[in-house]
Structure 1
Amino acid sequence: MSTPRRALIVIDVQNEYVTGDLPIEYPDVQMSLANIGRAIDAARTAQIPVVVVQNFAPPGSPVFARGGEGAELHAVVASREWDHHVEKALPSAFTNTDLAAWLAERKIDTLTVTGYMTHNCDASTIVHALHMGLAVEFLHDATGSVPYENSAGFASAEDIHRVFSVVLQSRFAAVASTQQWIAAVEAGEPLERGSIYASNQKARAKSAA
């Protein structure tokens, strides 16, 4: 089993999600911020490159307006060093950015995803990375979701985060805690990803019991 060539990507850890108009509700945002800081620190210690992503909307937008306080990086990220900075305007950190080329130049084969939000920019980036042939890891306690209500119905932040985490583990990423990831980094080992078939069989067996 070869040692993963990891990069840690820290997506949209901006004030909008903490003190702005789109506050993360689950998991607790202070816990996820602390874990994001831990992940960055562990990556620096292990000489894993850190990519910081920042989302911008046009001036005057209700959230993430360029030049506004909400669009600024939160202090947990702004106070730390990173290796590369990416600006984006769409959910995936790969779309219309240099991220893919930057990772390829460094022969990265495993992308570890943290930041916000679980169901939006994280999920989009994870799916994009998988389709590019990268292995992906997702730290479920270093991210978070907000609740939604629209014409399709209502979903709490906890429901959205939980369901997306389960779905991602079934095919798209190895979902783990920050502590589990740090242990895997220290051991030079990959995290285990599930499969659609195994996930479905386990659910069916539980329902039948």
Structure 2
Amino acid sequence: MSKSALIVVDIQNDYFPGGKWTLVGADAAAAKAAQVLAAFRAAGDLVVHIRHEATDKDAPFFVAGSEGAQIHPSVINRDGEPVIVKHHINSFRDTALQEVLKQHGIDTLVIVGSMSHMCTHGITRAAVDFGYATTVIHDACATLDLEFNGVQVPAAQVHAAFMAALAFGYAPVVSAEEFLAAR
């Protein structure tokens, strides 16, 4: 029988209006993440929070010890829910994440969080490479507008491209509504 965990990736204050690195749709994505979080808590399933901290005090966001680096109140961890602090895009790199999952016998991951094109994408690919059955809740993830080689890429297109890439070969990518209806 599979045993699942919800991984809440980098839903931190700096990504919200008034923060240092505001994402497009951060509030809407966090609201969907909170719905999924409530379902995992109600089922008694493991919830793991990932919190990114910059190692450089002059970093543009997520400065260690700052209010911006704290987990957003909409998905704040409860007592007993592990919080993994990371310093890299991949949440498995140089952290205890895999140890925590092994301790709990987890083989299935559900991922929500930010940014779609960076840490959410990175943990999903790594999780699948480590052998976890993985699902991404696309509307519980957020990102921002990007620019490449003079081309402006709106956040909605960035998000869609990265979710499409994950869905193409890594993991099911579903809405919170679809996931919760099937749970």
- Whether the TM-score (by the shorter chain) exceeds 0.5 is yes
Pair 7,79 (structure 1): closer, same or farther in 2 beyond 3 Å? closer
Q: Which residue of structure 2 lines up, in the alignment, with residue 148 of structure 1?
A: 146
1:86 counterpart = 2:91: no
Distance 1:9 1:102 in 2: 11
**What RMSD in Å do the two structures reach over aligned CA positions?**
1.5
Does the CA-based 8 Å contact 1:49-1:82 persist in structure 2?
no
1:48-127 alignment, distance < 5 Å: 48-57=45-54, 58-78=56-76, 80=78, 83-127=81-125
Cα offset, 1:178, TM superposition: 0.9
Distance 2:13 2:90 in 1: 19
Cα offset, 1:143, TM superposition: 0.7
1:9-48 alignment, distance < 5 Å: 9-18=7-16, 19-25=18-24, 28-48=25-45
Cα offset, 1:79, TM superposition: 6.5
Identity %: 30
Q: Which residue of structure 1 lines up, in the alignment, with residue 3 of structure 2?
A: 5
Q: TM-score, normalised by structure 1?
A: 0.82
Q: Which residue of structure 2 lines up, in the alignment, with residue 203 of structure 1?
A: none
Distance 1:173 1:21 in 2: 31
State the Cα deviation string for residues 34-87 of structure 1 (Å, max 9, x = none): 111111110011111000010001322121111222111111122655621100
Distance 2:102 2:76 in 1: 25
Cα offset, 1:150, TM superposition: 4.0
Moved beyond 2 Å, runs of 4+: 78-82, 150-154
Gap regions ≥5 residues in structure 2? none
Cα offset, 1:147, TM superposition: 0.8
